[in-house]
Structure 1
Amino acid sequence: MRVPSSLFRIQICKSIANFYNAEMTKQQTDGFQPTSIAYKIQMAEVGGMAETLVLSLILLENQLQEKIALLKVLQLFSNSIENCKLMAKAQAACRICSRLNDTDPSGQVLFRSSEILWNLLENGPKEEIINQLSNIECIYALKDSFVRLLTSGYRHYDRQLRNDLLVIATLIAENNCSPLVESGFAKQLILFATFPEVKSHNPLFKSLKLLHQHEDFEMKKLLLNMMVVLAKDLSTVQLLSDGKAVLALFNYVKASEKPGIHDWPAARFEDLQLHAIATLSTVAPLLVEDYITCQGNTRILLFLEWCSSQDGFSGQGNCFHGTGGRGNKHAQMRYSLRLLRAMVSIGDEGVNQDLCDQGAISQLLGLLKKSLADSSGKDNSILMEIQSDILFILSSLCENDTHRKELFGSEGVDVLIRLLKMDPSKFYSGLGHNKLLFCTLDSAWSCIIGCFTSEDYFLEKEGLFIILDLLALNLKNMNNLLLGILVEFCDNPKTIPHILTWRGKDNETVPKLLVRLWKQEEEELGVRRDSYGRIVDAERPLVGQFQEEQQVVPMPANCFSVAIMEVAENIRAKIYSVFSRLGFENLPGLSALDYVTLSVISRYLDFKVGEVWSEIRAELNAENIKPVTSDYEALEVIEKSTENISKLVATHQTEMIENHQQMNLQEEQQKFAEIKANHKQSEIVMKTWDKFLARTSNYEALKKAKRLQEKSIESSRPKARPQNSTFHSTQIANLNTTVTGGRVVTVESTPSKLTGGPLADTDLALKRVPIRGGALQKTQSVKLLK
């Protein structure tokens, strides 16, 4: 390529381009076999040809035909990942982009250069390519090319190429906005994004006109996206304000009354509308004054009112932002609430007060109830997101204002209780139930607590029982929030009876539940306790394994130390706060071992204070600071007193455990005595039973003798006997004896009045065997017939 011959250079480029031409491979030469396309491409990659050709660009700056031929080859090479790496090594992105505006009547230089840049971003090392494109010369070249195509291009091809350059500029802005701001490209892009909604006297707009074709529609969305990207850099905030970005975007926050009434077709206007509202969610919080000037709150509330109305409008739901909005207005409502959520999140009191003055709390509650009615019986992730955003907005508005909490009132409490009763099995369905529950609990904290009428109504509706039911589910990521609500409610004197009345599974009480959660928390933290829950380390009774492994690092006075941060990160402080309201004695449902743990809970504050002082002393040692004598002695006394308290609690725990074991032993001995007494009683019964069986065997012998006597009498009589002879149908009643409840009962198999015979009137056959004093009495003697 260094040979100064135009024909030679062009032929080299053609020969390399033929590597990718399948028709050239089919040509046959006698005695030779042509190489395959794959082999030639592979040899070009191995030989580093792409890097060499990129470096050759500098030789062809003023030779248009040669440059076009070379760019054509590089365009083919840029489809390979290996070639893109080689081209990036030779600074291909910077070399090509900086020459976009070279004179070229055919337009091939711009077209092929943009294609090469696209392929490099797609197949090459993206970050390295973007860094090369962030060069100020490249930005100027992009800017001039884009503006020229936008204002002078009229072909379909020009509009496509213009959009491609805009995407490349957006990728550069995502990495670094500074070159775009310095070159003035960012200001021009903002002006183009607000056209035609905002009138401008800039000469660029004299001949500019959007034809509402597909390419213009795509460019409009790309420009809206560019505003979102630029807004991430605070240096562009003033440019957005000067370009009246908020005013231009609010032009789309209006009702879609009839299809086609706007300049854009209905489906495209809906897409731009949703995209504009989404852009406002990023831009408006940075431009609060512009937002207030444009009466943003009024526009959003009116738009939300239209979203909840029944006017026959139905969204197309075809665009990215229109997900779930087909046949309804859910997409418009969803992004409007996102915008409102973004505005209340900045905490500007002027914005929040303006919302409340316009009746936002009442309107949002009505919108929430309507969405709950629409989602009844079905799970819709879009509706749940809408409900979560409404709850978040209400929480932000009511958090520190009692009057707004009163506006929330009983109507809001009823809605929250309905949401709190959702099926716990759906919390991890992936549709947003857990987020909705978090927002509901946050609203209960922010919108109810602090307003006594709302608190009383919440208690009256058994809302606190629902909070305790959720706490009993032991959802790890919600326990902290639930206990925080419980602590805040304890300031209301009517709360304590509700807490003591509640019963969970297996009749579990709140104190029992709190002790269980404390044990679980300490086990996860790695706090050292023995099998009974007794203190093992008297010097550090609350410190867990993770906290113990962290070294003490000197920190400024305005920074929280590890011991203080630990209070907020786990639930032990909140459990202690609840017990402080309930008391530490005579609590229902606690076992002896529960009181062992409760003795640690009752001293939590003392232990934590000692832990903080110990941390202060460790920080002083780390900084090689020696306290004066009086301070040193005070630290010694504090540390020693904390250790003494720990030992005292451990001793008390040991006494409780020993008493518990002694009581268990006494109960065991008492049970054993009862079992032994029952065993002796059983032995007496068995002996009596044996005696009864012996009597029964004697009775059987008597019966047998009687039968023999009757048989001998019968044999001595004449054979002809009267039919009503008593001996003709004589049957001896069989006695079945049954022991029931310690009683011996005789049951006749045949009534005596039917059997007759000599044993029919015997006392044994008619009487039950009595039991007195635990022993069987003797039965009366059997009377025998003579």
Structure 2
Amino acid sequence: MASSDVQKTPLPVVKHVIGDDDMGIKKGVKIQVVNYSKVIKLLTDPHSVTLYERHLNALQKLIRHYQVGFLMKDLVQVFKILNVCADRVQEQPLYIQPMMEILKIAGLPFLKEKTSDGTAYAQIVVESISQLGYLMRVPSKEVRLQLASTLLNIFSNELPKQEVQDHQASSRAYNMAMVEKSDVAETLVKSLALLEQDIDVKLHILDLLQNLSAFSAPNCDKMLAAEAASRICSRMNDAEPTGRLLFRSIEILWNLLENGNKEEIAEQLSSFICIKALQEAFSQQMTSGFSHYDRQLRNDLLVIATLIATVCPQAPFIETGFAKQLLLFATFQEVRSHNVLVRHLKLGTSIEDFELKKLLINIIIVLSKDVSMVPLLAEGHILLALFSYVRGNENVSQHQEWTPAQFEEVQLHAMSALCTVAPLCVQDYMTCQGNTRLLLLLEWCVGKEDFAGHGNAFHGYGGRGNKRAQMRYCLHLMRSIVSIGEASVNQDFVDQGAINQILDILLSASHSESDDDVIDVEMQSDMLSILSILCEGDIHRKELFGEKGVKVVLQYLKTNPKKLCSGLGYHRMMLATVDSIWCCVVGAYLNEDLFLEGQGVFFLLDLLQTCSANMHNLILGCLLDLCENAKTVAHMLAWKSDKNTTVASLLIKIWKQEEQALGVARNENGTIADTRKPLMGVVQEKAGIVPLPANSRSQAIVDVFENMRAKIYALFCKIGFDDHPSLSTSDQVVVCIIEKYLDFKQGEVWKEVTSELEQEGVRPVTPDEEALSVINRTTEELAINVADTQVDMLETQLQQDLLEEQEMYAEIRENHRQKEKAIKRWNNYVARTSNYSLLKAAKTDQDLSINASRVQTDFLDSDTYHSTDLANLQTTTFQSRHVNIDSTPLELTGGPTLLGQPNERDITNRVTMKENTPIFVS
């Protein structure tokens, strides 16, 4: 007990913890925390609001302690201090320097105490960056310049990382993401209105906007929301000696085009002020710019103008005079002009000038879509300038001229432009002798002159080492010209021998053994289309097409059907071929006869069977017009495919496919399902019957044009609805509908008339009402009769099938009976040859049968009767001195016969016998 009362001495507690900081292990700057609340209270408290020296000391202390950056959690207090200073700058300029120092620190990476601070304080960071943009209201040049530098550091510049104890700096990617979420880009655009008189600050802000829009679509969208394109473009020509204002403005517009909404940009730039500003800038760079930099800037301006004209055709290019000026710059090299703008202007062969030429041609194409542009095109002699390139190429170039490769590229671009512009200025086209130029170029393309194309750029595709690119665009231009249907132009082509010239090229191409690529097929299609347009509706031109043309189209009709799906454009070429047959052959009796002699109808039907459904309509129309020649029907009826398909069954197959596509109601066996709507499809039914003006086609009439059933009906009228023995019953069921197509369609039209009158509240007079009622009732009764006929045909076919089935089974039974009879006969034969008693019985039965078959038997008892039978001969055959013996086959006996005859393979042995010699045979 005494020992327990003794108190134990307590162990000492160590109160000193030695950390990394005490050991000197930590690296980096240590942040000394400042009480922001005291600083804010000092600045805002009414009692200390005028203590400027204390304010400056507090701000300097804050700046000294946070030289490496602000903590994310302190950003709210930091920007409260900045806003207080910003509001007092105008009264007390002494706040400017501290503001600039704080803003400079704000440009450093923000500091995080924990990794999660980046997410936790993200919204605070976004709002703080937005506050930087709002500080542009401070009327101080130094502050604004520092703001631009701070924002540039936050978004773009990669600052050297400083090590801070217990803190981590935010990454550049994080800062960029926060800037994109803020509205600083929009604020900066709006602040440009405050900087009209301060060009230096404006240039820095534009530089900042250029960086913000360089690779950031969100920033571009927010800038566009503030109408950045319009604001910047309208003031890019302000006086500025270094040229940086124009350069920065164009760069920003380029960034907006690359990363923003092009339609919105073009809409903002399509105002009169912006177009005028673009015109002034382009004209200034065009006439006064000589450096590489100036030329690039000039081309950039032209690209922007092209985009505006493409997206906004209503942009005032004509009203501002920009369009006329562009035409002048595009043509001054080829067409002499005394305009002061181009009097001393020259373009070299540099890459920038070469690109300018192509851009000018391109913008002319875009502007020509406006009808108001046509008089300016004629006034500017654009066709004369472009046609100067429509000539044969040369392998060498003169001094200060385009190189052969450059000339070829400009030439192809010019011909591409002529495809759009020439049809708009037909009179100028004829004045420039366009037809002659094109035919001469076409002759050069197929001639033997040595020229190897360079095949550069888009238009030169497939033209390296040959003249195909020139020929391709020459044919494009010819097709564009003849397509406008100007009689004088087409007649001039014919008078200059275009038909014969094109036929010679096609005849050579059709017999070529080399494989055609997509360019060759495209050119041949264009030539066939040109011939179709030239010959359509003119007998004289069809006669010029003549035998040579018929040979050409026949050769193309022989094209392997498998090539139609090759992707090289053969389907387009086949369409052009069928169209040329329709336009150049049909209607000229000599051409039709030559076409028929060459089995052209057979080729057309072969093509109809193998081609895709979208070609059926054209081929059927061509065949229908060919049927006006009486000889065609015989060819159609004589045609049979490799699978013995006739023309009638082929037309019925297409009819079924067409009705299936239209959604016409039919039963499973093909009969009419709804007698009230025997022809109506789903689309026509959904459209319903709507009252229309008298000059508008109703749905029933439109249906005739939109599908092929009317053509198939017309063809059946030519070849007949009967006398097609190869048709199955299901096909004949369809023929019943085809035969009554016109009656059904007339009834459908009258039904529409009745429904329209009811919807419009119009009651016909009594005789007309009765007539309409009779017509509708007659049409429905006709449909019922056709449906009954179809059912009868199907039932008859069913009965015929049953009868044929019974006959087949009867034949099978007869075959079995004959086999059984043969087996029984063989068994009797074996029994007779094996058993003598059976042979005698058989002989007796035979004699009885012979006697029973005789009508008269009295002569047998006559004295004069002599029997021819051999006595005691027990055989069932009729013998003479020579008999034929059927030996048992060796495969059955396996050895010699019972008569001791040798083992021979002869089935029949002839044996000579003596009179009255008995022999046992069956």
Same fold (TM over 0.5): yes
Q: Does 1:418 align with 2:555?
A: yes
Equivalent in 180, 185, 192 of residue 57 of structure 1: 192
Aligned to 2:453: 315
- Of 558-567 and 340-349, deviating more is 558-567
- Selected match of 1:759 from 890, 895, 899: 899
Counterpart selection for 1:82 from 218, 230, 240: 218
Match of 2:429 in 1: 291
Q: Distance in 1 between matches of 2:751 and 2:907?
A: 87
Which residue is 1:482 aligned to? 619
CA contact (8 A) 1:364 1:390 kept: yes
Q: CA deviation at 1:18?
A: 1.7
Residue 245 of structure 2, aligned match among 109, 122, 127: 109
Deviation of 1:761 after TM superposition, in Å, equals 5.3
Deviation at 1:85, TM superposition (A): 1.2
User: In the alignment, what sits opposite 2:732?
Assistant: 595
Q: 1:346 to 1:675 in 2, by over 3 A?
A: same
Contact persistence 1:553–1:619 (CA under 8 A): yes
Equivalent pair of 1:762/1:782 in contact (CA under 8 Å): no
1:31 Cα offset (Å): 7.1
The alpha-carbon distance between structure 1 residues 696 and 106, as it changes in their structure 2 partners (threshold 3 A), is farther
Counterpart for residue 642 of structure 1: 779
Q: 1:555-590: per-residue Cα shift (whole Å, max 9, x none)?
A: 222222221121122221111111111122222422
Structure 2 distance, partners of 1:230, 1:377, is: 42
Q: Does structure 1 conserve the Cα–Cα contact (< 8 Å) formed by 2:620 and 2:712? A: yes
1:350 aligned partner: 488
Instruction: Give the 3 Å change call, closer, same or farther, for CA 758–622 of structure 1 in structure 2.
Output: closer
Q: Is the 2:510–2:555 Cα contact (8 Å) retained in structure 1?
A: no
Structure 1 unaligned spans of 5+: 700-742, 771-778
Name the structure 2 match of 1:68: 203
Give the direction of change, closer, same or farther, for the CA distance of 1:70–1:592 in structure 2 (3 Å limit). Answer: closer
Q: Give the secondary-structure state (helix, strand or coil) at the position aligned to 1:269.
A: helix
1:764 touches 1:782 (CA, 8 Å); kept in 2?
no
Which deviates further from its counterpart, 636-645 or 519-528? 519-528
CA distance in 2, matches of 1:405, 1:524: 37
Task: Find the partner of 2:801 among 658, 664, 675.
Answer: 664
Cα deviation, 1:503-531, whole Å, max 9, x if unaligned, reads: 11332221222222222322332222233
The answer to whether the Cα contact below 8 Å between 1:25 and 1:36 also exists between their aligned partners in 2 is no
Which structure 2 residues correspond to residues 251-262 of structure 1 after superposition, within 5 A? 251-261=388-398
Deviation at 1:301, TM superposition (A): 0.7
Partner Cα separation in structure 2 for residue 229 and residue 765 of structure 1: 98
Letter paired with 1:296: G
Q: Which amino acid aligns with 1:494?
A: K
3-state SS in 2 of match to 1:180: coil
Q: 1:134 aligns with which of 252, 267, 270?
A: 270
Given the superposition, is the C-alpha separation of residues 671 and 750 from structure 1 closer, same or farther in structure 2, using an over 3 Å criterion? closer
Measured against aligned partners, the alpha-carbon deviations of 1:33-57 in whole angstroms (never above 9, x if no partner) come to 4432222222222221111111110
Map of 1:205-244 to 2, 5 A cutoff? Answer: 205-244=342-381
**Equivalent position to 1:149, from 282, 285, 292:** 285
Aligned partners of 1:750 and 1:473: how far apart in 2?
A: 60
Residue 696 and residue 350 in structure 1: after superposition, are their counterparts in 2 closer, same or farther (change >3 A)?
same
User: How has the CA–CA distance of structure 1 residues 659 and 46 changed in structure 2, closer, same or farther, with 3 Å as cutoff?
Assistant: closer
Q: Distance in 2 between matches of 1:609 and 1:474?
A: 32
Change (3 A) 1:32 1:106: farther
- Secondary structure (helix, strand or coil) at the match of 1:256 reads coil
Q: 2:658 aligns with which of 489, 502, 521?
A: 521
> Shift of residue 758 of structure 1?
7.4
Aligned equivalent of 2:31: none
Shift of 1:597: 1.9
> TM-score w.r.t. structure 2 length?
0.76
Q: How far does residue 225 in structure 1 lie from its aligned partner after superposition?
A: 0.1
Please state whether the residue corresponding to 2:888 is helix, strand or coil.
Answer: strand
* 1:126 maps to amino acid: K
How many aligned residue pairs are there? 729
Counterpart contact for 1:256–1:313, Cα < 8 Å: yes
> CA distance change for structure 1 residues 657 and 20 in 2, over 3 Å: closer, same or farther?
closer
Q: 1:114, 1:165 within 8 Å by CA — same for their partners in 2?
A: yes
- What is the alpha-carbon distance in structure 2 between the residues aligned to residue 129 and residue 758 of structure 1? 117
CA distance in 1, matches of 2:905, 2:552: 77
Deviations 1:115-169 (A, max 9, x none): 0011111111221111111121111111101100100111110000010011001
Give the direction of change, closer, same or farther, for the CA distance of 1:747–1:158 in structure 2 (3 Å limit). same
Q: Is the 8 A contact 1:25 1:35 kept in 2?
A: no
Distance 2:262 2:283 in 1: 25
More moved, 365-374 vs 268-277: 365-374
Change (3 A) 1:261 1:417: farther
Is 1:174 the counterpart of 2:310? The answer is yes
Distance 1:654 1:55 in 2: 81
1:388-410 CA-partner distances (Å, limit 9, x unpaired): 00000000000110110000011
In 1, the alpha carbon distance for the partners of 2:403 and 2:256 equals 36
Indicate the structure (1 or 2) with the bigger Cα radius of gyration: 2
Contact 1:763–1:780 under 8 Å retained in 2? no
Indicate if the aligned counterparts of 2:620 and 2:711 stay in contact, CA closer than 8 A: yes
Tell me which amino acid in the other structure corresponds to 1:350.
S
Where in structure 2 are the equivalents of 1:307-456 lying within 5 Å?
A: 307-373=445-511, 376-456=513-593
**C-alpha distance 683-350 of structure 1, shift in aligned 2 (>3 A):** same
* Contact map agreement 1:369 1:415 (CA 8 A) in 2: yes
2:527 counterpart SS class: helix
Counterpart amino acid of residue 760 in structure 1 = G
C-alpha contact (below 8 Å) 2:889/2:907 kept by paired residues: no
Q: TM-score, length-normalised on structure 1?
A: 0.88
Q: CA deviation at 1:674?
A: 2.3
In structure 1, what is the equivalent of residue 762 of structure 2? 625
Root-mean-square deviation (CA), in Å? 2.6
Query: 1:533: which partner in 2?
Result: 670
Deviation of the 1:92 alpha carbon = 0.8
* Separation of aligned partners in 1, 2:156 and 2:334: 50
* Conservation of the 8 A alpha-carbon contact between 2:472 and 2:519: yes
1:495-554 deviation per Cα after TM superposition (whole angstroms, max 9, x unaligned) = 122111111133222122222222232233222223332222222211122222221222
Task: Rate the CA distance shift 1:664–1:54 in 2: closer, same or farther, 3 A.
Answer: same
Question: 1:257-268 counterparts in 2 under 5 A?
Answer: 257-261=394-398, 263-268=401-406
Residue 747 of structure 1 pairs with residue 889 of structure 2: yes
Q: CA deviation at 1:697?
A: 6.8
The aligned amino acid for 1:115 is E
Q: Decide which moves more: 425-434 or 552-561.
A: 552-561
Q: 1:150 to 1:652 in 2, by over 3 A?
A: same
2: CA distance, partners of 1:131 / 1:25: 42
Specify the alignment match of 1:122 in structure 2: 258
**8 A Cα contact 2:337 2:343, kept in partner:** no
Whole-angstrom CA distance in 1 between matches of 2:495 and 2:473: 22
Question: What secondary structure sits across from 2:889 in the alignment?
Answer: strand
Task: Give 1:271's aligned residue.
Answer: 409
Query: What are structure 2's unaligned runs of at least 5 residues?
Result: 1-135, 837-884, 911-917
Which residue of the partner structure matches residue 616 of structure 1? 753
Asked if the contact 1:25/1:34 (under 8 Å) is kept, the reply is: no
Q: Is the 8 A contact 1:746 1:769 kept in 2?
A: no
Q: CA deviation at 1:28?
A: 5.0
**Greater RCO (CA < 8 Å, at least 6 residues apart):** 1
CA spacing shift, 1:766–1:144, aligned 2, 3 Å: closer
Show the counterpart of 1:160: 296
Distance 2:684 2:613 in 1: 20
Shift of 1:759: 3.1
Q: What secondary structure does 1:427 align onto?
A: helix
User: CA deviation digits over 1:188-247, x for unaligned, max 9?
Assistant: 111111121111121111221112211111001000000100011111111111111111
Provide the secondary structure at the position in 1 that maps to 2:316.
helix
Residue matched to 2:849: none
